[in-house]
């Protein structure tokens, strides 16, 4: 990710109040969201679930004008902030929406970054199945979350997320990190071929990325036990 792109991304938030600008810069600094971009097809319809202020959605839209990006989030305030970054760009839009009720459209990729663990596991599994149904053949799920290992990073991650949901600005039903095996199995059960992408970093978070590819032959019923 070049400095130029990061500058362009941050500048989109210049019209927002100081508190939003601070939040967005901190999020960008503390996360490695930019690493997700390379796994997203350069063109096609992209759904970013739980987009928050729209950092990842905006990154995807500015790095390739051939992407048509839709960001959804349950938090109407965050969506209003994200909408105020759009200006006259035509390849991005933001809407209030719940991960449990996906838009009635197909997508070439679905990103979901640091969102699933705010949702109870049974609903996470149902969402993965809906994502698999919404993906075009050869479409891809890009799911960033946190692993239970290493333990010390997981403890810091959990504590931070707990604070963000109890005292901070993150809306969610609680904290429900599935372990890596459960996540991989849930992706398989949804009918996607999973891959794990480790995200080692010097940050004190246990980031991990799961990809789920929809091949033409898979369907959820093949994997249901």
Which position among 41, 52, 139, 194 is part of the footprint of ligand SAM (CB under 6 A)?
A: 52
Structure tokens at 204: 């004190």
- Taking CB positions, which residue lies at the least distance from ligand SAM? 52
Nearer to ligand SAM, 49 or 208 (CB): 49
**Nearest alpha carbon to residue 35 among 65, 69, 60:** 60
Structure tokens at 133: 């149904």
Q: Does 172 bind ligand SAM (CB under 6 A)?
A: yes
Which position among 147, 170, 183, 206 is part of the footprint of ligand SAM (CB under 6 A)?
A: 170
The separation between the first and the last C-alpha atoms of the chain, rounded to the nearest angstrom, is 41
**Angle at 110 (CA atoms; ends 107, 84), nearest 5 degrees:** 95
Alpha helices in the chain (DSSP H): 3-11, 18-30, 55-63, 76-83, 121-134, 151-166, 180-189, 220-223
CA 158 – CA 163 distance, rounded (Å): 9
Instruction: Detail the DSSP E strand segments found in 151-216.
Output: 193-198, 207-213
Site string for ligand SAM, 7-26 (x = CB under 6 A): --------------------
How many binding residues for ligand SAM (CB under 6 A)? 23
Q: Does 99 bind ligand SAM (CB under 6 A)?
A: yes
Of 9-17, 49-57, 190-198, 209-217, the segment contacting ligand SAM by CB under 6 A is 49-57
CA 103 – CA 97 distance, rounded (Å): 8
Starting at the edge strand found earlier in the chain, the sheet holding 92-96 runs: 92-96, 67-73, 44-49, 107-113, 135-146, 207-213, 193-198
Q: Considering just the CA atoms, what is the radius of gyration of the chain in Å?
A: 17
Task: Give the shortest CB-192-to-ligand SAM separation in angstroms.
Answer: 19
Task: Give the shortest CB-69-to-ligand SAM separation in angstroms.
Answer: 13
Q: Does 40 bind ligand SAM (CB under 6 A)?
A: no
Nearer to ligand SAM, 193 or 203 (CB): 203
Of 5-13, 97-105, 188-196, 215-223, the segment contacting ligand SAM by CB under 6 A is 97-105
Interface of this chain with ligand SAM, residues 113 to 152, rule: CB under 6 A: 113-115, 118-119
The residues that touch ligand SAM, with contacts defined as CB under 6 A, are: 27, 33, 49-52, 55-56, 73-75, 78, 98-100, 113-115, 118-119, 170-172
């Amino acid at each position: 990710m070049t400095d130029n792109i990061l500058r362009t991304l941050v500048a989109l938030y210049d019209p927002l109040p100081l508190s939003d600008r601070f939040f967005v810069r901190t999020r960008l600094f503390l996360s490695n969201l930019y690493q997700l971009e390379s796994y997203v097809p350069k063109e096609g319809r992209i759904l970013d679930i739980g987009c928050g202020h729209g950092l990842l959605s905006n990154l995807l839209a500015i790095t390739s004008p051939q992407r048509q990006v839709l960001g959804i989030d349950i938090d109407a305030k965050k969506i209003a902030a994200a909408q105020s970054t759009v200006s006259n760009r035509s390849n991005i839009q933001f809407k209030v929406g719940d991960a449990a009720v996906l838009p009635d459209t197909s997508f070439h990729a679905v990103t979901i970054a640091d969102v699933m663990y705010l949702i109870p596991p049974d609903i996470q599994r149902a969402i993965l199945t809906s994502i698999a149904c919404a993906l075009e053949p050869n479409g891809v799920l890009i799911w960033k979350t946190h692993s239970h290992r290493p333990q010390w990073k997981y403890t810091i991650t959990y504590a931070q997320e707990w604070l963000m949901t109890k005292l901070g600005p993150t809306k969610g039903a609680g904290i429900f990190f599935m372990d890596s095996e459960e996540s991989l199995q849930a992706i398989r059960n949804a009918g996607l071929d999973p891959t794990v992408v480790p995200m080692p970093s010097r940050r004190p978070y246990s980031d991990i990325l799961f990809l789920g590819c929809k091949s033409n032959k898979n369907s959820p019923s093949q994997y249901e036990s």
